[in-house]
Chain A
């Protein structure tokens, strides 16, 4: 009860300090001197939100069910780890977390931007405060995490068991850091527009924030898809589900920005485009929050929804977009220097081509996600836009994208006089064509687009490995990330075309053959573990080389709320995963057993990690160059 009050009032104090900072910074903007009070107030504001956040955590830890959020999302016999992670596993708590990261980042921005133009700093602060105030109001008006319940309920309703998982416990905070980082990019690009400060030095500074959000967004998306892979029980890691799309869109936008900012930094143009991308990235992050929270989307992730929240976020989003458009059109001035000669064979143009393709992928996903909603509103017809749509529209273009990617990044700035290593490029191309042909012939898949994509991705893998050992190019972070990307596409593709699976209904003692493997259902165990009942099957798989694999897939029947989840057992090695999951068939001694072989699964995660490592190296270099 006491933490509840502390939490609520610190939120209100936080909002008050926000308003004061806003007014003070407007004053400072006029007199061009930053009021020292702003720093202490920003820290105070962060401190208030932190206090509020920790009081909510305490409410969860001590299971204080007089708090409505705790009542709805927790249960006294849940393990302590999930009590804590339950804090942000729900709508109210996750917004508080969002607010916490917002205020923390603003404070960090104030500390790390000391050498920059004062008015630009103050303006960034102003725009960031607008966002923060918006979120404060959103939390306090529509989704207060500290609603008080009287009389106090004896027991809570419990957290959705499929969310009780280590990967998912840290997935939201990491994703949010990525999203919120985009808000700093948004505010500072608006400030830079007003102050006419879009320049090489601005690009240098903002690139750190772009990298930080990009890294966190990548890790966040990866954690989410790892979770989907082992927890949702169908063995897929990406379903083109609307909520997955919504996290991928800001990522694509941010990736485009990450490349485009290089042009601004080195050549001082593409300014308009940089600003548009910065605004778009944040808008897409906000759109993501709106679409997830309003419950418009039909998806696995919709665990909290309420139309009034949707309307608030939507109007706030419109306000921010209109504000940024007005600022952009009133203050943006194109400078004379923008007109320089551009040669077709240059790094600038290859980055433009990269952005062009990325924007296409973005538009496919955006339209694919939003179109069904619009169609339903306009004509009351419900359609599904599923994986086949995305595959059909993305794959053909991805082939060209990857071919460009094997040539473009090695071009010089301004003008490339001759394409280096033409011979090697062609040689590697024929080599990858030859290898793909043999490989596809062997596994008996000769679908046109898959074959072409395989050629293109193999080619890119070869080229990036070759670049890795070439001494002429020093950009180590780029080498790693580009190699990571090529490996990612290759492993997703191979995983997709080589996966095989079988579904059978079995009872204890049964066995069946699958390809060269034999699967035995040995025994069954029942266990009672604190908040769920567990049924563990014991399976043995023998392959053609007489290797024995033991599988223990589990069914968990949670009591609060009563939900059944299947925990797959996965055997991972470098060449692929073996994935076994069971499901109960109602009122029967039979179990539905699904056994899958998923080649190169681990390489999908490794290559994503390579992307992240590449980004981190770049960040490290930036930080120490300063």
Chain B
């Protein structure tokens, strides 16, 4: 009896873990598909779109997650296949360092101009 109870508890526990594990997978799928552009729609993410392309992409993402690939690896595969256009989260590389850097640079420049005007004013 004891053994049976143990098995039942174990099965239930395993079940529980697999459920939470599945949920985690779902969350990851949602997270990834929200960050991908639906290439045949206008301005919609894979997650929001119901087009054939989006549906097959969602299946692909699920499959890749089941294969044990991480989020980054999935992006890498997709970028190789479809180009950087597909990812909403712009990466930082030699093409985009200006994009990321320029606003911050302008912020400090603006600050410097304001300081100069205030401190070094001719009175």
Instruction: Give residues in A with beta carbon < 8 Å to B.
Output: 232-234, 236, 239, 241, 298-302, 339-342, 344, 349, 352-353, 356, 359-360, 363-364, 367-368, 371, 375, 379, 381-389, 393, 397, 501, 503, 583-586, 592
* Interfacial chain A residues near B44, Cβ < 8 Å: 234, 300
Do B83 and A367 have beta carbons less than 8 Å apart? no
Chain A nearest CB from B62 CB (Å) reads 13
In the A-B complex, the 9 residue pairs with the closest CB atoms: A386-B88, A234-B48, A388-B89, A382-B85, A300-B43, A360-B107, A364-B103, A299-B43, A583-B50
- Given known contacts A233-B48, A388-B89, A583-B50, is B103 in contact with A339 (CB within 8 Å)? no
Q: Measured between alpha carbons, how far is A69 from B76 in the docked complex, in Å?
A: 46
Task: Indicate whether B28 reaches chain A with its CB closer than 8 angstroms.
Answer: no
Q: Contacts A298-B43, A300-B42, A381-B84 known; A349 to B99 CB distance under 8 Å?
A: no
Interface membership of B15, Cβ < 8 A: no
Closest B residue to A302 by beta carbon equals B42
**Cβ contacts under 8 Å, B35 to chain A:** 386, 388
- Least CB distance, B78 to chain A, in whole angstroms: 12
A236, A360, A501, A592: which contacts B110 (Cβ < 8 A)? A360
**Does B102 contact A363, Cβ atoms closer than 8 Å?**
yes
Name the contact of B95 in the complex, choosing from A233, A299, A339, A381 (C-beta under 8 A).
A381
- Please, how many angstroms separate the alpha-carbon atoms of A356 and B87 in the complex? 31
Instruction: Kindly report which residue of chain B lies nearest to residue A236, judged by CB atoms.
Output: B48
Instruction: Give the docked Cα–Cα distance between A384 and B41 (Å).
Output: 14
Residues of A within 8 Å of B84, CB to CB, are: 381-384
Q: How far is the CA of A371 from the CA of B96 in the complex (A)?
A: 9
Whether the pair A386, B110 counts as a contact (CB closer than 8 A) is no
A371: which B residues are within 8 A, CB to CB? 96, 98-99
Pick from B89, B98, B102 the residue with the most CB of A within 10 Å.
B89
Residue numbers in A under 8 Å from B86 (CB-CB): 384
Additional pairs, 5, CB under 8 Å, beyond known A233-B48, A585-B50: A232-B48, A339-B123, A352-B114, A386-B35, A393-B104
- Binary contact readout B71-101 vs A (1 if CB under 8 angstroms, 0 otherwise): 0000000000001111111100001101110
Q: Whole-angstrom distance from the CB of A116 to the nearest CB of chain B?
A: 30
Which residues of B are at the interface with A, using a C-beta cutoff of 8 A?
Answer: 30, 35, 37, 42-45, 47-48, 50, 52, 83-90, 95-96, 98-100, 102-104, 106-107, 110-111, 114, 118, 121-123
Which residue of B is nearest A301, CB measured?
A: B43
Decide: B121 and A383 in contact? CB cutoff 8 A.
Answer: no
A342 with B121: CB separation less than 8 A: yes
Q: A364-B103, A375-B95 are in contact. Are A386 and B89 (CB under 8 A)?
A: yes
With known contacts A302-B42, A583-B50, A384–B107 Cβ distance under 8 A? no
Give the complex CA separation of A68 and B95 in angstroms: 44
Nearest A residue to B33, CB-CB: A503
Chain A residues with CB under 8 A of B88: 384-389
Known contacts: A384-B85, A387-B88. The answer to whether A367 contacts B118 by CB under 8 A is no
Given the known inter-chain contacts A300-B42, A388-B35, A583-B50, please indicate yes or no for A360 contacting B87, CB distance below 8 A: no
Cβ A367 vs Cβ B90 within 8 A:
no
Residue contact B50 to A241, C-beta cutoff 8 Å:
no
| A384-B106 in contact (CB<8A) | no
A340 vs B121: C-alpha distance when bound (angstroms): 8
A-B contact pairs, 16 of them (CB 8 A): A236-B48, A241-B43, A339-B122, A340-B123, A360-B107, A363-B102, A363-B107, A367-B99, A382-B85, A383-B85, A384-B86, A384-B90, A385-B99, A386-B35, A386-B37, A584-B50
Kindly state the separation between the CA atoms of A368 and B103 in the bound complex, as whole angstroms: 9
Closest chain-B Cβ to A325's Cβ sits at a distance in Å of 19
* Cβ–Cβ contact A367 & B114, under 8 A: no
Chain B residues whose CB sits within 8 angstroms of the CB of A298 once the complex forms: 42-43
Known contacts A386-B35, A389-B90; is-contact A339 B121 (Cβ 8 Å): yes
Closest Cβ of chain A to B111, distance in Å, is: 6
Write out the residue numbers on chain B whose beta carbons fall within 8 Å of the beta carbon of A344: 118
Closest to A585 in B: B50
In the complex, residue of chain B having the shortest beta-carbon distance to the beta carbon of A584: B50
Q: State A383–B84 Cα separation when bound (angstroms).
A: 5
Contact A356–B90 (Cβ < 8 Å): no
| Residue of chain A at shortest CB distance from B48 | A234
Candidates A234, A379, A386; contact of B90 at CB < 8 Å:
A386
